[in-house]
Amino acid sequence: MVKVDRSYPAPKSLAVEAKKNTGSYSEEDVIAQLKNDFHNKCYICEMNELQDPQVEHLLPHKNGRYPFRKFDWENLFWSCGHCNGVKNREEYEESIINCCIDDPEDSILFRLDSNNVEVLAKSMADRKAVKTAQLVWEIFNIRNTGMRIYKSEMRLKELQKEMNVLYDKLEAYKKSQYQKRY
Ligand SMILES: [Zn+2]
């Protein structure tokens, strides 16, 4: 999870749809703006080029119990189905960091070794950091169904691939700096 810059103004359809009985929060303008703001990456697992993206509500609207949340631009996030499904639990309802407001890396430590993702809150007293770290850890490690074993492992592999690209770039950069000097 990284900091995302949400763009404004909010997509026009949201205000229109909010007035309808069965309005939609995923009209074309919403999808286009979310996809662009989030660089087409799931905000939780950061997987790229999502095939089946979903509009995720950071604070759940609970089928109309909180109608305002349903169409609130600041409550809509770009997510993959795996993360949306794992997050859909009561303990995550009001306790996940809003990465469009706060930088998750300020309060969460994120480490990857060859086969493990370690995600830890910097302070155990920071409830949002603790819960967000737990959620991010879970989406890479949840193994409670056959499909989730596959999806978690796939995300871990994608992450390792991206980290390897980053390490290669760092190595190349170090080398070029060294060559410049000598
Ligand atoms: Zn995801």
Q: Mind spelling out the 3-state secondary structure of 59-105?
A: CCCCCCCCHHHHHCHHHEEEECHHHHHHHCCHHHCCCCCCCCCCCHH
For the chain, how many structural domains are there in total? 1
Rounded alpha-carbon distances, angstroms, from residue 1 to 15, 79, 92, 166: 28, 11, 15, 16
Q: State in Å, rounded, how far the first CA of the chain is from the last one.
A: 39
C-alpha of residue 68 to centroid of ligand 1, in Å: 25
Residue 78 is assigned to a structural domain of this protein: yes
If we measure between CA atoms, which residue out of 123, 150, 118 comes closest to residue 137? 118
C-alpha of residue 78 to centroid of ligand 1, in Å: 9
Residue 115, pLDDT > 80, answer no
Looking at residue 117, what is its pLDDT?
85
C-alpha atoms less than 13 angstroms from C-alpha of 95 in its C-beta half-sphere? 18
C-alpha of residue 47 to centroid of ligand 1, in Å: 6
**How far apart (Å, rounded) are the C-alpha atoms in residues 82 and 45?**
9
Q: Which residue has the tokens 């949306």?
A: 84
Residue 146 is assigned to a structural domain of this protein: yes
Residue 2 is assigned to a structural domain of this protein: no
Residue 1 is assigned to a structural domain of this protein: no
Q: Which long-range contacts (CB under 8 A, 24 or more apart) does 40-44 make?
A: 40/78, 41/78, 42/78, 42/79, 42/80, 42/83, 43/1, 43/4, 43/77, 43/78, 43/79, 43/83, 43/99, 44/1, 44/79, 44/80, 44/83, 44/87, 44/135, 44/136, 44/139
Residue 6 is assigned to a structural domain of this protein: no
Residue 182, pLDDT > 80, answer no
**How far apart (Å, rounded) are the C-alpha atoms in residues 179 and 39?**
34
Residue 111, pLDDT > 90, answer no
C-alpha of residue 126 to centroid of ligand 1, in Å: 23
119-146 pLDDT per residue, tens:
999 999 999 999 999 999 999 988 888 8
Greater pLDDT, 164 or 96 = 96
Residue 61 is assigned to a structural domain of this protein: yes
C-alpha of residue 21 to centroid of ligand 1, in Å: 30
Residue 3 is assigned to a structural domain of this protein: no
14-66 pLDDT per residue, tens:
999 999 988 999 999 999 999 999 999 999 999 988 889 999 999 999 887 88
Q: Which domain holds residue 47?
A: 12-181
Would you say the pTM of this structure is higher than 0.85?
A: yes
Residue 175 is assigned to a structural domain of this protein: yes
Looking at residue 136, what is its pLDDT?
95
Neighbours of ion ligand 1 (CB under 5 A): 42, 44-45, 80, 83
C-alpha of residue 95 to centroid of ligand 1, in Å: 17
Residue 8, pLDDT > 90, answer yes
Residue 98, pLDDT > 80, answer yes
